[in-house]
Chain A
Amino acid sequence: MAGLMHCISASVAAVPLNTAEMVEILMVARANNKRRGITGILLHIDGSFFQILEGAQEDVAATYAKTAEDHLFTRVTDIISEPIAKRAFSDWTMGFADLTHAEQMAIGGLNDFFQEGTCCTRLRAGRSQKLLRAFAAGRWRTKLRRDLKKIAG
């Protein structure tokens, strides 16, 4: 049995991305993920990304390695990599929500991940759900500091 894992990371866009570019990235991501059996979700707000990849260990590792080389985003922070028993996003080759426009959070099904106390207590919520909420609440936002090189030595 190929063990399932998830890999949760935060990153920041190296250049401002417009909607067309975001759509393009998502289309490539979804096509690749479908082929590799990867599922997950991507959140964006003001240049900060938060991503959960789930799948067989070698597939997640391969996808993660490829995205880590992508020049479109930088400062990738590994938050959690661990085995899981089942997927939290089994229907999504890569769900996407732009939290810059909060109303888009109504995207099908996504609401459940942000709402507390609907069907279950948070103690039952999995790690994915807890971390999505943490990001939505303002944690794990990465900032680019373009001015650092100017510090006099």
Chain B
Amino acid sequence: MIVLKQPESTRPFSFAFQPVIDVVDRKVVSYEALVRGLGGESAHQMLTRNSAEELAQFDRECRVVAIQTAARLGLKSHLNLNFLPTTIYSSSEVILSTVQAAEKNEIPLDSIVLEISEVELIGDQTGFALLINEYKSLGINISIDDFGKGYSGLSLLADFQPDQIKLDMNLVRRIEARGARQAIVRALAVACGDLGVDIVVEGVETIDEYMWFRDEGFRWFQGYLFARPAFEEFPEVHYPEFEA
């Protein structure tokens, strides 16, 4: 069991939560935990202060604290957790503390969704596949974040299939007017449908973006349009009106 170095009251970070919603059933299917400094700094600002070793320790602590915080808030849905950049390859040990924290807080492992950024995966894909298989055998769900940001996304799908992908913002932004992006996203929807991979449309900011995806049959969304991340809170969701 990992022992957190700092008691909760003096820990310099905590979490904000942003919902992933199903607009058809009008309910929250997951919350993504986003690390925040107590002064409101983003994860990126906090990271630059740490050495590699501290970073790995911080990475593990983050998931443990995110689980504790979500449990305290009465989590009933899935919980999306992140790896900090560069920490995913360390070893499968990195997940042990996460598994223990989930068990201790009575959150089933199949409610945990681990997000791994596509751009983190350009290196050792074999090592990555082994790691992922270990998570899968525990029942933990795998999500590829920022899908479509780098150039590895499609070849990634060829070799292993996550439970979920989250479309990169660059594919989402102003999609209603951008034909090439529309074509790519439609093709992705077919591929993911055939492979049983769920697509979450992330970073949705405008009604027009939302309308385009909704008309194409997408149902899982995350973005400012529905709810901003809320600090140590599960925020209220604004469901688009026309989805009566």
Task: Say whether B133 faces chain A, with CB atoms less than 8 Å apart.
Answer: yes
B136 and A82 contacting across the interface, CB-CB below 8 Å: yes
Of residues 132 to 152 in A, which have CB atoms within 8 Å of B's CB atoms? 134, 139-140
Q: Is the interface of B mostly helix, strand, loop or mixed?
A: mixed
Residues of B within 8 A of A122 (CB): 198, 219
Number of interface residues of B (CB under 8 A): 26
Q: Per-residue CB proximity of A82-107 to B under 8 Å, as 1/0? A: 11111000000000000000000000
A85 and B22 contacting across the interface, CB-CB below 8 Å: no
Residues of A within 8 A of B29 (CB): 121, 123-124
Which of chain B's residues has its CB closest to A140's CB? Answer: B194
A85 and B138 contacting across the interface, CB-CB below 8 Å: yes
Of residues 18 to 46 in A, which have CB atoms within 8 Å of B's CB atoms? none
Task: Say whether B195 faces chain A, with CB atoms less than 8 Å apart.
Answer: yes
Task: Say whether A131 faces chain B, with CB atoms less than 8 Å apart.
Answer: yes
A80 and B195 contacting across the interface, CB-CB below 8 Å: yes
B22 and A131 contacting across the interface, CB-CB below 8 Å: no
Residues of B within 8 A of A86 (CB): 139
Q: Per-residue CB proximity of B11-39 to A under 8 Å, as 1/0? A: 00000000000101101011000000000
A60 to B109, CA, bound (A): 24
CB distance from A104 to the nearest CB of B (A): 23
Number of interface residues of A (CB under 8 A): 21
B196 and A121 contacting across the interface, CB-CB below 8 Å: no
Task: Say whether B147 faces chain A, with CB atoms less than 8 Å apart.
Answer: no
Among A4, A128, A130, the most chain B Cβ lie within 10 Å of the Cβ of: A130
B161 and A123 contacting across the interface, CB-CB below 8 Å: no
Residues of B within 8 A of A128 (CB): 196
Q: Which of B139, B195, B198, B219 makes the CB contact (< 8 A) with A85?
A: B139
B137 and A85 contacting across the interface, CB-CB below 8 Å: yes
Task: Say whether B193 faces chain A, with CB atoms less than 8 Å apart.
Answer: yes
A140 to B220, CA, bound (A): 24
Residues of B within 8 A of A79 (CB): 194-195
Which of chain B's residues has its CB closest to A85's CB? Answer: B139
Residues of B within 8 A of A140 (CB): 194
Q: Which B residues lie at the A interface, using CB under 8 A?
A: 22, 24-25, 27, 29-30, 78, 109-110, 133-134, 136-139, 160-161, 163-164, 193-196, 198, 219-220
What would 7 more interface pairs be, CB under 8 Å, given A128-B196, A140-B194?
Answer: A79-B194, A83-B137, A84-B137, A85-B109, A123-B78, A127-B163, A139-B194
Q: Which A residues lie at the B interface, using CB under 8 A?
A: 3-4, 79-80, 82-86, 117, 121-124, 127-128, 130-131, 134, 139-140
Q: Which 3 A-B pairs have the closest CB atoms?
A: A85-B139, A130-B196, A83-B137
